[in-house]
Structure 1
Amino acid sequence: MTVSLPTGGTVRPITRWGEPVMHRRLTPVTDYDADLEQLVADMFATMYAADGAGLAANQIGVDLQVFVFDCTDGDHRRQAGVVCNPVLTLPEGADRNLDDSEEGCLSLPGAYTYCARPDWSRVEGTDHTGAPVTYVGEGGTLARCLQHETDHLMGTVFGDRVPARARKKLYKQAESIADDYPKDWPAAPRTSSAHDL
């Protein structure tokens, strides 16, 4: 049985790196109720408004272990889902192949740098109804997204995973375009600037 994903949510402002909720392990989901369903609907609405591939609850200021995603795998198949209390599995030893691709984060909007991550990942958890779910990313955006969003729920931003020099450049890049993203973006639209030309 396929559970439909909540829709009709409200777009909320995205929380930025530096806020305490972005840098601590979040609280596990224990109540699978109407409030959680509304939260998930708001997360999808916010992710889509920001043109993101995934969004964790702390990215809208909520201290709960839940993320949503909608992106493609290595075969360009689109997958969308909700994961609460994720357990991430990554390959080890000879099975571990790193993909050193550009990565960005909606909580540091507009800034990107290369971040090496395994090209395969699996996440197990529950959906917003409490039903068990498993998602496997084999290449493509999905493998990276599952890792990135699980990291968020554990208090890790992808800047923590890149060398200090790359992190410094990342922050500098974000600072140079910060005026393009209002404090309450994407609830308020992005402002156009010379960066768009």
Structure 2
Amino acid sequence: MIYPIVIYGDEVLRRHCEPVPADFPDLRQLVADMFLTLEEAEGVGLAAPQIGKDIRLFIVDCTPWADEDPSCADYKRAFINAEIYAMSDEKKTYNEGCLSFPGIHADVQRSLSIRMRYLDEEFKPHDEEFTGLKAWVIQHEYDHIEGTVFTDRISPLRRNLLKGKLLNLAKGKYHCAYKTK
């Protein structure tokens, strides 16, 4: 099933998400459906709030960046109940977009490496370090489960310049090639 993507203005994007219990119904199907939705929207990451679910689940598919970073080849993962507990002081600015903000991009500074604990879809625990592009997309998606959106991380001046576009999104005035809600 392909879910519609929730667009900026919906309150679910601002909620601090609830942990996913081990007995969550049809979790594997939800993860599979999220990957289908992500593929349809041609994105590299998708968090549960972006499909209207306020649970601590997000997925990443970095394979489109394999030419730029060979470690991204076939890199697809689900992250459940993730917790970033360390971030490098070294940062890099990336030009980000978001499926929930069609047509809007902005430079966002993020840590070059992070350490994170999470569960996979089998509920097996992992504790890993992520660097480069993987760390970047994971931080973006992690923000979603914390109720933060990428425009919260840009300068107040830049956010003010985007104010009209953000208001249009919230009013439903936008165009994109994927299903939205």
Find the counterpart in structure 1 of residue 70 from structure 2: 76
Task: Answer with 67-76 or 161-170: which moved more.
Answer: 67-76
DSSP-derived class of the 1:26 partner: coil
Counterpart mapping for 1:165-184 below 5 A: 165-173=157-165, 175=168, 178-181=173-176
Distance in 2 (alpha carbons) for counterparts of 1:80 and 1:134: 17
Q: 1:46 maps to what in 2?
A: 37
The gaps in structure 1 that reach 5 residues or longer are 1-9, 189-197
Query: Which aligned pairs between 1:112-123 and structure 2 lie closer than 5 A?
Result: 112-123=105-116
What TM-score results when the alignment is normalised by the length of structure 1? 0.78
3-state SS of paired residue (1:151): helix
Residues 150-187 of structure 1, C-alpha deviation per residue, up to 9 Å, x if partnerless? 110010001111112212334545649x5322xxx623
How do 1:13-28 and structure 2 match up within 5 A? 13-28=4-19
Report runs of 4+ in structure 1 exceeding 6 Å deviation: none
C-alpha distance in 1, partners of 2:91/2:86? Answer: 11
Instruction: Please state how far the C-alpha of 1:52 moved relative to its aligned partner.
Output: 0.8
Report SS of the residue matched to 1:99.
strand
**Equivalent in the alignment of 1:89:** 85
Contact 1:44-1:68 at 8 Å conserved across structures: yes
2:55 pairs with 64, 78, 86, which one? 64
1:139 aligned to 2:132? yes
CA contact (8 A) 1:83 1:133 kept: no
Between 1:166-175 and 1:152-161, the stretch displaced more is: 166-175
Question: What letter matches 1:163 in structure 2?
Answer: S
Figure out how many residues of one structure are paired with residues of the other and give that number.
172
Q: Does 1:99 align with 2:86?
A: no
Deviation at 1:90, TM superposition (A): 3.4
Local SS of the residue matching 1:105: coil
Whether the aligned pair in 2 keeps the contact of 1:122 and 1:146 (CA below 8 Å) is: no
Q: Is the 8 A contact 1:85 1:125 kept in 2?
A: yes
User: 1:153 pairs with 142, 145, 160, which one?
Assistant: 145
- Map of 1:177-192 to 2, 5 A cutoff? 178-181=173-176, 186-187=178-179
Letter matched to residue 103 of structure 1: E
Assess if the C-alpha contact under 8 Å between 1:88 and 1:122 holds in 2. Answer: yes
**Structure with larger RCO (C-alpha < 8 A, sep 6+):** 2
What is the TM-score with the length of structure 2 in the denominator? 0.84
* Helix, strand or coil at the partner of 2:70: coil
Alpha-carbon separation, structure 2, partners of 1:67 and 1:32: 17
CA distance in 2, matches of 1:173, 1:125: 35
Q: Which residue of 2 aligns with 1:191?
A: none
Residues in 2 aligned to 1:125 and 1:143: alpha-carbon distance in whole angstroms: 14
Q: How far did 1:32 drift?
A: 4.3
